[in-house]
Amino acid sequence: MAMNSFEWADATTVEQAAGLLAESTEQRPVIAKAGGIDLLDLMKEGILAPARLVNLKTIHGLDEIDTENGLTLGALVTLDRIDKDPRIRSRYVALSDAAAHAATPQVRNAATIAGNLLQRPRCWYFRHDHFHGEGADEMESRGADQNQHHAILDNDKNAMVHASTPATALVAYDASVELAGRANGSRVVKLSDFFLPPEMQRAHDSGIESGEVMTRVTIPPLNARAKAAYHKQTERESYDWPICDVAVVLTMEGQTVQNASIVMGWVAPTPRRASESERLLIGNRLTDDLARQAAHAAVADATPLSKNGYKVPVLEAVVRRTILAAAVAG
Amino acid sequence: MATDNQAPIDQPPLRSQSLLYGIVGQETRQVTRQVPADEPPQLPVNAELRSIGKPIRRLDAVQKVTGTAKYTFDVQLPGMLYARQVVCPWPHAKVISIDTSAAESYPGVRAVHVLETLLQTARLRDPEAEARNKYPTVRFAGQTVAAVAAETQRIADQAAKLVKVEYERLPHVSELVAAMDDEAPIVFPGPVEQPSTAGGGGAPEGLPQKGNVRGPNFGMPGMTPTGDIDQGLAEADVVVEAEYRTQVQTHVPMETHGIVADWRDDELTIYASTQHTHSVRDEAAEYFDLPKSKIRVISDFTGGGFGAKYGINNFGLLAIHLSQKAGAPVRMMLDRREEHVSAGNRPNSLQRVRIGAKQDGTLTAIDVISWGTGGIAGGAGIGFCYNALYPCPNMRTEQYDVFTNAGPCAAFRAPGQVQGIFSLEQAMDELADRLQLDPIMLRERIDTKPTDDMLARAHERKIAAERFGWDRRRPPNSDAGPVKRGMGMAQAQWVYVVSPPTTVEVRIADDGSVSVYNSAQDIGTGTRTVLAQVVAEEFGLDAENIGVYIGDTRFPWGPPSGGSRVTASVTAPARNAAYAAARDLAARLAPLFDDADPDDIFFAGGKVGVRGNEGAARPLKEAAKEAKFGEISKLAKRHDDYEGFVLSGETSISRHGLGGVQFAEVAVDVETGVVKVERVVAASDCGRPINPKLVESQVIGGIIQGVSYAIYEDRIMDATSGHQLNANVDQYRMVGSRETPEIEVLLIEQIGAQSSTDARGIAEASNVATSAAIANAFYNATGKRIRTLPMNPANVLAALSA
């Protein structure tokens, strides 16, 4: 596959980038480029055909990591830096591990956190140009029959899952994103409210608006006694997309759970909190049995499709294992 | 000394000779064979040789790892154009009209061609069964219709989109079981035929066909049913019966299929990523009505093929037409999607197996029925392992091809045998379990055919079991935790194949330097290196001293890289030609040594001398200069094996096969369904190993590909659209570096006394047992059988909860 010709604009300020992006129309799409990883894939596969790319990498000051008050990641911070930064690893290990297990070393060197959060679904129907072209109408009138990698929760309308795995950890840490526009200044949105269930026909899977640029990702300060763990369950150990991933943040008083945040990725259209599991843990002494009950609760609402029933027991095992791993984390 | 025998015309005179036979270091004896009189004496065992049998680094290793090796992908010619195919988005359609005008007038486009003849497909026995149409019917999504050639790849890509094709869609079916239904849409409106390629595959002619189901085919010639199955089952003390399913696997070579076609005046030069230079030349001659003498095919390096790279294919037809029209070279390399969808695959299978045995393991009945789909091509059988491995008086293997609207299958590293061994060797493991026999003991009792591969396996079972630590194998499901470990073993069998037309030339230039010529391509196995090692032996030189010229149809005919036959085919004539050239050289240099008897002249380390007066040896280069003999050239043909073949022709098959056994250790996480192959020990045979390092490399590659097949690979078709959903290397899962087990290869040296090098193949024999060994280890780990491939979490959790 090959790409069409397109214009390239190096932005020097967020305002300039936002202005250029606001010029986007259906006929002349203008698309932001950070690391360019997912963008290049989509262009090569013929899913995206931008008239103009706005390069954000030329904007200064968007690649900083600040740990003064919680954690602030500039939009252009790469996954590799999140993995390797000792400050992040010591305080936000679930995020470090999520970054470390995303993609491949080559991709992590180039991929940015903003690009990762805004990437499109990996659904093999979505990634095949046929289902955007000649086969689009047929696709509209039916679901994904080959749904082995699709959602097992909240999947009645749309079963594609959001692709970002760092998102799973970020939602568990209650992260927000900062979006800067040209006219209305910037706004901050909780990541848990930001994502939208992916759809074939929509241009993005989040609440970002035309003319907005994601500038920062922020995590509020963490309780000093918080412990966390992250697990991405794949079929291969070498680079792979997950069956599911789970991030757990616990605040413990001795063996008793004071607070719990459990988030599951790749099992629902967007990262999903295991609220009932959290409720079961909070205020109780964490035992193997309690972890088992909490994991069971996490999949109680599962409505597996024709070919993804296997994800239910896998998710249950991974939730249980990750809760127990968080409890003994350093 | 030997005496000459009377031989028929075309056959060389023979001498009767006593030869060493057997497994070196194990059990050897002398046998008497009829040997062509002009062949050199038998080689001693490898330990007594200088060049042959040494694990030297491949001669082109540095070129390959530094990227200077020129693959077809790398070919750049002055004025070269780039091509792009126009492919159909529908899985079954009649082409109503094609309008190429917009593409033709697009700036930078130099030629457009519409495909008139479709290759890589089964063909209607009666072409009239389908209404006549100007264009071939489209039978799978991604089938090529036309192509454009342009000055840049981007122009070609853009222009391809401007070719307007009007289709009338037809009903389609893309799934095996659905296609077997009487009411299923029909892929071909009549019975079809599918000839095989040099890599195997294909199906016998004239088989019955009902709807999409063609057969029964009983496998290779001589595999017709024997005995009485019902009686055999009635006599059995134990019957194991089960259904097995294997998936479609695509070849995914590092280098996609492709050619560069350069038609100038009345000569056609083709650079091809191919497994047989001559198959490209022969098909080009056939389809373009050119004499073979005017076509040259060059393949310096081929980036993998695994059975799928023969002939010119549809993309090659188009590229040659485009080159002819444009009067310029045209480069046509498939992209990754085209490679997955249209360039070949290993058919899937649904196998129903019943095996009966007496309490002592004696087999009383083997009854197998299989269906498989190779898309629009035939050849979806399960090989011949059921007939080849274990003798049984009552035997029936009934195999059916099922056509679907999907890309054509192609030969793939042991076509059919990989699917067949998966069920056969699991059934044997189950039988051993039911009979409370160690799986090795069961094989000791039933692996009894009087062949070299049987002898090899008997020895291999012993050495591999010991190295693997088979005695540490525990009862099934011995681990209490969620991660369960187990051990399993399985046996391999593949044919020993030779191409007797193979001819090798050895030249000695007037400076005494030696070179060797053959048209065979190197698919990656190290053909250059083994040729050099064999020739070097006769001159007392090192392999790197020999000039090796291969991969070009201007050189004498070489074999296809299919059926694991290249080393067996080329090394014997290479040695025979080198021997003859060396004797000729000795005769010409003898006058320089006081007219010594040429039989006393020897070559060693770049010097020539006379036995008995080693001190007077002098540099060969200097002696050659003085002798002024001009150039010596000797041609030698691959003679038949000394014992002959059971099937003779361009593909000659020995009654002996290739053996091999593999032992695997796996860890199964029964909560997540993830299977990890931790260790594989393989004992392998390939006759006399010419280069043990390269043989080991082949076996390691076979095991890695076997692990990939067993656990990961799976072509996913969308039934509604007829499209492959994972036609890329992201979503088509393959083994990665972290999934590669610890692998240990034990190689035996088996002297068959059949040719002047006694080299045999290895590539396919190393690939067939892996998935069954892993499946048997899975059973030992979990106490459950997994009869569906791949062993991914979905299939594993289903098997565990069964």
A85-113 pLDDT, tens digit per residue, is 999 999 999 999 999 999 999 999 999 99
pLDDT of residue B721: 97
- What is the nearest CA distance from B55 to chain A, expressed in angstroms? 31
Question: Mean pLDDT, to the nearest integer, of A28-49?
Answer: 96
What's the one-letter identity of residue A103?
Answer: A
**Encoded tokens for B47:** 């330990």
B733–A contact, CB cutoff 8 A: yes
How much of chain A is in helix, strand and coil states, percent to nearest 5? Answer: 30, 20, 45
User: B719 touching A, CB under 8 A?
Assistant: yes
- pLDDT score of B5: 40
Q: What is the mean pLDDT of residues B204-218?
A: 92
Q: Does A141 touch chain B (CB under 8 A)?
A: no
**Residue A314: which of B141, B337, B793 has the nearest Cβ?**
B793
Put simply, the answer to whether B671 touches A313 (Cβ < 8 Å) is yes
Which tokens is B488 given? Answer: 């399993």
The per-residue b/e assignment along B35-46, b for 16 or more CB within 10 angstroms, e otherwise, is bbeebbebbeeb
Q: Tell me, what amino acid is at B19?
A: L
So what's the pLDDT on residue B221?
A: 65
CATH number at residue A280: 3.30.390.50
- A128, A139, A310: residue with CB nearest B673: A310
Best residue of B720, B729, B733, B735 to probe chain A, by most A CBs closer than 10 Å = B720
Question: What's residue B10's pLDDT?
Answer: 62
Q: How far does the CA of residue A141 sit from the closest CA of chain B (Å)?
A: 11
CA distance B82 to B369: 47
B723 touches chain A (CB under 8 A): yes
Q: What is the pLDDT at residue B224?
A: 86
Q: For residue A60, how many other CB atoms are within 10 A of its CB? A: 9
A4 at interface of B, judged by CB pairs closer than 8 A? yes
The 10s digit of each residue's pLDDT in B11-69 is: 789 999 999 999 999 999 999 999 999 999 999 999 999 999 999 999 999 999 999 99
Give me the phi and psi of B711, to 5 degrees please. -110, -35
Cα–Cα distance for residue pair B179/A83, rounded to 1 Å = 49
Beta bridge partners of B497: B653
d(CA B463, CA B683): 7
pLDDT score at A143 = 83
Residue B286 at interface with chain A, using a CB cutoff of 8 Å: no
Say whether pLDDT at A289 is over 90. yes
CA distance B154 to chain A (A): 7
Given a cut of 50, is residue B267 above it in pLDDT?
yes
Q: Which chain A residues are Cβ-neighbours of B725 within 8 angstroms?
A: 124-125, 128, 146
Q: Provide, as residue numbers in chain A, all residues whose Cβ is less than 8 Å from the Cβ of B674.
A: 233, 235
Place of tokens 């005494």: B512
The yes-or-no verdict on residue A4 having pLDDT over 80 is no
Contact A160, A153 (CB under 8 A): no
Residues of A in contact with B88 (CB under 8 A): none
Q: Which residue has the tokens 């064979």?
A: B33
Q: Which among A4, A146, A238 is the nearest to B716, CB-wise?
A: A146
Question: Looking at the predicted structure, is the pLDDT value of residue B166 above 50?
Answer: yes
Using a CB–CB cutoff of 8 Å, tell me whether A2 touches chain B.
yes
Residues A236, B671: C-beta atoms closer than 8 Å:
no
Domains of chain B: 72-173+252-342 (3.90.1170.50), 433-497+643-802 (3.30.365.10), 501-637 (3.30.365.10)
Q: Considering only alpha carbons, which residue of chain B is nearest residue A311?
A: B794
The verdict on residue A273 lying in a domain is yes
Q: Give CA–CA dist A105/A111, Å, rounded.
A: 10
In terms of DSSP bridges, do strands B81-87 and B93-99 run parallel, antiparallel, or are they unpaired? unpaired
Q: Say if A291 falls within a structural domain.
A: yes
Residue B250 Cα distances to B43, B312, B407, angstroms: 41, 19, 10
CB A305 within 8 A of CB A269: no
| Residue contact B158–A4, C-beta within 8 A | yes
The percent of residues in chain B predicted with pLDDT above 90, rounded, is 95
For the residues A296-312, what does the mean pLDDT come to? 98
pLDDT of residue B199: 63
Residue B406 has pLDDT above 50, yes or no: yes
* C-alpha–C-alpha distance, residues B601 and B611, integer Å: 6
Residues in chain A with CB shorter than 8 Å from the CB of B735 are: 236, 238
CA dist., res. B172 & res. B92, Å (int): 6
Question: How far is B86 from chain A, CA to nearest CA, in Å?
Answer: 12
The pLDDT score that the predictor gives to residue A257 is 98
- What is the band of B3 on the pLDDT scale with cuts at 50, 70, 90? very low
For B82-125, the pLDDT digits (tens) are 999 999 999 999 999 999 999 999 999 999 999 999 999 999 99
- Is 50 exceeded by the pLDDT of residue B4? no
Is residue B482 pLDDT above 90, yes or no? yes
B278 near B499, Cβ under 8 Å?
no
pLDDT at B195 (0 to 100): 76
Which residues does chain A have within 8 Å of residue B154's beta carbon, measured at their own beta carbons?
A: 2-3, 5
Spell out which residues of chain A touch residue B730, defining contact as CB-CB under 8 Å: 122
- For chain A, how many structural domains are there in total? 1
Residue of B nearest to A306 (CA): B794
User: Which residue carries 């202005």 as its tokens?
Assistant: A19
Mutate to test the interface with A, among B165, B173, B718 (most CBs of A within 10 A): B718
Q: Say which of B141, B153, B731 has its CB closest to residue A124.
A: B731
Asked if A112 and A35 touch (Cβ cutoff 8 Å), the reply is: yes
Identify the bridge partners of residue A30 per DSSP, sorted by sequence position: A52
A130 at B interface, C-beta within 8 A: yes
Q: Is residue B218 predicted with pLDDT exceeding 90? A: no
Residue A307 lies in a domain: yes
Residue B745 host element (H or E):
strand B742-748
Region A138-149 average pLDDT: 91
* All residues at 6 or more sequence positions from A214 whose CB lies less than 8 Å from its CB, including other chains: A75, A114, A117, A118, A177, A178, A179, A208
pLDDT recorded at residue B2: 36
Nearest to B404 by CA among B171, B195, B197, B714: B171
Cβ of B335 within 8 Å of Cβ of A1? The answer is yes
Classify burial at B128, counting beta carbons within 10 Å of its beta carbon; exposed 0-12, middle 13-18, buried 19 or more. Answer: exposed
Predicted local confidence at residue B454, as pLDDT = 98
Work out the average pLDDT over B185-204.
Answer: 83
ipTM metric: 0.97
Select the more confidently predicted residue: A202 or B368.
B368
What domain range is A264 assigned to?
A: 226-327
Residues of A in contact with B792 (CB under 8 A): 235
Q: Is residue A70 part of a domain?
A: no
Does A145 contact B726 at a Cβ distance shorter than 8 Å? no
Residue B128 has pLDDT above 90, yes or no: yes
What's the rounded Cα separation, in Å, for the pair B178 and B326? 45
Whether residue A200 lies inside any domain: the answer is no
Contacts of B337 in chain A (CB under 8 A): 1
Q: Which residue of A has its CA nearest to B86?
A: A1
Nearest CA in chain A to B156: A2
Strands B213-217, A30-33: pairing is unpaired
Looking at the predicted structure, is the pLDDT value of residue A183 above 90? no
Residues 6+ apart with CB under 8 A from B593: B601, B609, B610, B613, B616
In the predicted structure, residue B398 carries a pLDDT above the cut 60: yes
User: Is A13 domain-assigned?
Assistant: no
Nearest CA in chain A to B675: A235
Rounded to a whole number of angstroms, the distance between the first and last alpha carbons of chain B is 68
Q: Flag whether A201 is in a domain.
A: no
Average pLDDT, chain A: 96
Side-chain-side CA neighbours of A6 within 13 Å: the count stands at 24
Q: At what angle do helices B793-800 and A311-327 cross, to 10 degrees?
A: 100
Instruction: Note whether A200 contacts B: Cβ–Cβ < 8 A.
Output: no
User: Is pLDDT of B784 > 50?
Assistant: yes
Tokens of A147: 């749904």
User: CB B158 to CB A133 under 8 A?
Assistant: no
pLDDT at B1 (0 to 100): 33
- Alpha carbon distance B462, B233 (integer Å): 31
Cα separation of B219 and B366, whole Å? 14
- Inter-chain CB proximity A131 and B737 less than 8 Å: no
For B365, the 3-state DSSP assignment is: strand
- What SS3 state is found at B17? strand
pTM for the model: 0.97
Q: Is the pLDDT of residue B8 over 90?
A: no
> B425 vs A179, B202, B392, B457, B474, CA distance in Å?
60, 24, 15, 14, 19
- Spatial strand order of the sheet with A7-10 comes to A7-10, A52-55, A30-33
- What burial class does residue B802 get, using C-beta atoms within 10 Å of its C-beta: 0-12 exposed, 13-18 middle, 19+ buried? exposed
Domain for residue A283, yes or no?
yes
Q: Do A236 and B738 touch (CB under 8 A)?
A: yes
Residue in chain A nearest B676 by alpha carbon: A236
pLDDT at B6: 41
Show contacts of B176-182: CB within 8 Å, 24+ apart.
Answer: B176/B348, B176/B350, B176/B371, B176/B372, B176/B373, B176/B402, B176/B404, B177/B350, B178/B719, B179/B212, B179/B213, B179/B373, B179/B402, B179/B403, B179/B404, B180/B211, B180/B212, B180/B213, B180/B371, B180/B402, B182/B211
